[in-house]
Structure 1
Amino acid sequence: MLQIHQFPCLSDNYGFLVHDPASGATATIDTPDADEILRQAAVKGWRITDVWNTHWHPDHAGGNAAIKAATGALVTGPAEVERIGAAPDRVVAENDVIKLGAAEARVLDVGGHTLGHIAYVFDSEDVAFVGDALFALGCGRLFEGTPQQMWTSLQKIAALPDEATLYCAHEYTQSNARFAVTVDSGNAALAARAAEIDQLRAAGKPTVPMTLRIEKATNPFLRAPALKPSLGLEGAADWEAFAEVRRRKDAFKG
């Protein structure tokens, strides 16, 4: 059984340390804040052996060099990580399988936020680290990819077991909820979740991780096909409904 330690860093990122007790191997999923990641690992008594990047953005790969220098960790990630100045030691892509101790993680290509964005899925644990591809009640802005590409990527995540636990990289949920209710106002499950999120944040508690089941029931980006009538897009392709939800979110000022 893997041990996962989640902690806040930077302004709204989460850091994740994944530890295999049997082997002692520990991976940091992305490197938003090298100093805080190293401090958290020291508090846990875990030695970082691996860095697993989801994409190239500096708040996800910017701490690679510092952590590698401090620990000698092996850096694994998509080829696009080269864009911040250091190639991964091991480049991975769709359907590759990598190990942390005896635990295996499957790589999904979930491009859209960036073209080469990947996710790491521990099928035996029903756990996925999805970076900025999917957020609680949201999804990543399309900085590089197309709506069609992103919709395809989200469907890969949606195909995981409903009870899968999803770890996304940012605490955006409260603002995502404020938008979600504007496009899915008749969704009682969403209204209840939005109220729960407000309570959690008022108490200083995280809204991450989340289950895929609750995302399927409340996330307007995953629910885009069901929202076609209210979006005025009857007969449109599913990705076109998704694109309209993304467009509205990009323009949302709440």
Structure 2
Amino acid sequence: MLIHQIYTFSPLRNFSYLIERENGSALCVDPFDAYQMLEFAKSLNLKIDLIVNTHEHLDHYCGNAGIVEETGAEVYAHENAKGKIPGVNHFLKVDDEVSVKDGVLSIMDTPGHTFAHLCLKYIYKGNAVAVLTGDTLFNAGVGNCHNGGDPGALFETIKKQFHTLSDEVILFPGHDYIENNLEFTLDREPSNKCACEWLSKVKSSDSTKMTFNVGNEREFNTFFRLDNEEVVSGLKGNVDSEKEVFLRLRELRNKW
């Protein structure tokens, strides 16, 4: 699997991604720093010929122009991003595919953080092995819905498209928020030993070089633990369904 995760050192702790394609080309996902991405590609003797933006927030496309100017790369984005991201050449919809080396990226329509948000499922030999999740799903958390999103839609996306993935699928998020997210998990579920152990590891090492899979999320992501008795019992208001639990948790995380 030829996905390279690049930490950008941005104030928002963004990740950008470089994915190898055939014939020395590469695809860039959510470039924050054009120079950083171009230099990284150059170090691997690759040329970026395609950019995919997961959504329309500036920190996920601000590197587009510099890469396009240098390489002539095309820009792809969600079909609902028309007029929201400058310079897009092609708009994507659910189940479209983008070819990469040794596989394809299958487009997921993932509303919630915004309604022009896509995620990219890496398919290798017919199986999903990784997902680039943008700001929909983070390690130990989910995205906010402040700027063009809706928490009810985000619940549906997380429940139907991510809870159902196999444990082995690796997640590549748009930001490194895991330390804060694990602390939120422990605030909601103090007895979660897995979250406690991982928080200790994260604080003692470089979290930007760690990767996690869906199996990990089931253990320490509060938004995957909507039927956990400790999580539910600590909430106020309507908790009669998993959706209501999710909404209460998202409200609490907004203020965390």
* TM-score, structure 2 as length reference: 0.89
Choose the corresponding residue for 2:244, options 240, 244, 248. 240
Aligned to 1:42: 42
Say whether residues 1:180 and 2:179 are aligned partners.
no
Aligned to 1:134: 137
Q: Is the 8 A contact 2:238 2:244 kept in 1?
A: no
TM-fit CA distance, 1:5: 1.9
Aligned to 1:162: 167
Residues 185-205 of structure 1, C-alpha deviations (whole Å, 9 max, x = no match)? 1212112121121122xxx34
Give the aligned residue type for 1:23.
N
Q: Give the match's secondary structure for 2:23.
A: coil
Aligned to 2:70: 70
Q: Is the 8 A contact 1:108 1:118 kept in 2?
A: yes
Bigger shift: 8-17 or 79-88? 79-88
- Residues of 2 paired with 1:52 and 1:85: CA distance? 11
Say whether residues 1:152 and 2:162 are aligned partners.
no
Say whether residues 1:3 and 2:5 are aligned partners.
no
Q: Give the match's secondary structure for 1:206.
A: helix
TM-fit CA distance, 1:169: 1.3
Total equivalences in the alignment? 247
> What is the aligned-residue identity percentage?
23
Q: Provide structure 2 residue ranges, at least 5 long, that are not aligned to the other structure.
A: none
Choose the corresponding residue for 2:199, options 184, 194, 214. 194
Q: Provide structure 1 residue ranges, at least 5 long, that are not aligned to the other structure.
A: none
Change (3 A) 1:181 1:235: closer
Q: Is the 8 A contact 2:5 2:16 kept in 1?
A: yes
Give the aligned residue type for 1:53.
N
Q: Is the 8 A contact 2:2 2:101 kept in 1?
A: no
Say whether residues 1:229 and 2:233 are aligned partners.
yes
Q: Is the 8 A contact 1:27 1:52 kept in 2?
A: yes
Aligned to 1:93: 93
TM-fit CA distance, 1:212: 0.7
Residues 66-124 of structure 1, C-alpha deviations (whole Å, 9 max, x = no match)? 21121111211113444445242111122222212562111111111111111000121
Give the aligned residue type for 1:160.
L
Residues 110-169 of structure 1, C-alpha deviations (whole Å, 9 max, x = no match)? 111111111000121601100111111111111222222001111202222210011001
- Residues of 1 paired with 2:253 and 2:246: CA distance? 11
* TM-score, structure 1 as length reference: 0.90
Bigger shift: 73-82 or 213-222? 73-82
TM-fit CA distance, 1:224: 2.4
Aligned to 1:117: 117
Aligned to 1:106: 106
Give the CA RMSD over aligned residues. 1.9
Q: Give the match's secondary structure for 2:224.
A: coil
Aligned to 1:18: 19
TM-fit CA distance, 1:211: 0.6
Q: Is the 8 A contact 1:30 1:51 kept in 2?
A: yes
Aligned to 1:211: 213
Change (3 A) 1:186 1:170: same
